[in-house]
Structure 1
Amino acid sequence: MHAWPASEVPALPGKGADLQIHDTATGGRVTLDPGPVARIYVCGITPYDATHIGHAATYNAFDLVQRVWLDTKRQVHYVQNVTDVDDPLLERAVRDGQDWTELAERETALFREDMTALRMLPPKHYIGAVEAIPGIVPLVERLRDCGAAYELEGDVYFSVESDTHFGEVSRLDAETMRLLSAERGGDPERPGKKNPLDPMLWMAAREGEPSWDGGSLGRGRPGWHIECVAIALDHLGMGFDVQGGGSDLAFPHHEMGASHAQALTGEHPFAQAYVHAGMVALNGEKMSKSKGNLVFVSKLRHDGVDPAAIRLALLGHHYRDDWEWTDRVLQDAVERLARWRAAVSRPDGPSADALVDEIRAALADDLDAPSALRAVDRWAALQQSGGGTREDAPGLVSRAVDALLGVAL
Structure 2
Amino acid sequence: MAERQKQKKQLHLGAFMRPVSLHTGAWRYPGAYPDANFNFQHIKSFAQKLEAAKFDAFFMADHLAVLNMPIEALRRSHTVTSFEPFTLLSSLAAVTERIGLVATASTTYDAPYHIARRFASLDHLSGGRAGWNIVTTANPDSARNFGQDEHKEHGERYARAREFYDVVTGLWDSFADDAFVRDVESGIFFNPERLHVLDHHGAELHVRGPLNIARPPQGWPVIVQAGASEPGKQLAAETAEVVFCAPRNLEAGKEFFKDVKGRLAAVGRTPDDIKLLPAAFIIIGDTVEEARAKRLKLDSLVHYESSIASLSIALGYDASNLDPDGPLPTELPETNASKSSRETVLKVAATEGLTVRQLAQRYGGYSGLAFVGTVQTVADEMEQWLVEEASDGFNVVFPFLPQGLDDVVERLIPELQRRGIFRKEYEGTTLREHLGLKRPKNKFFP
Query: What TM-score do you get using the length of structure 1 for normalisation?
Result: 0.29
Q: TM-score, normalised by structure 2?
A: 0.27
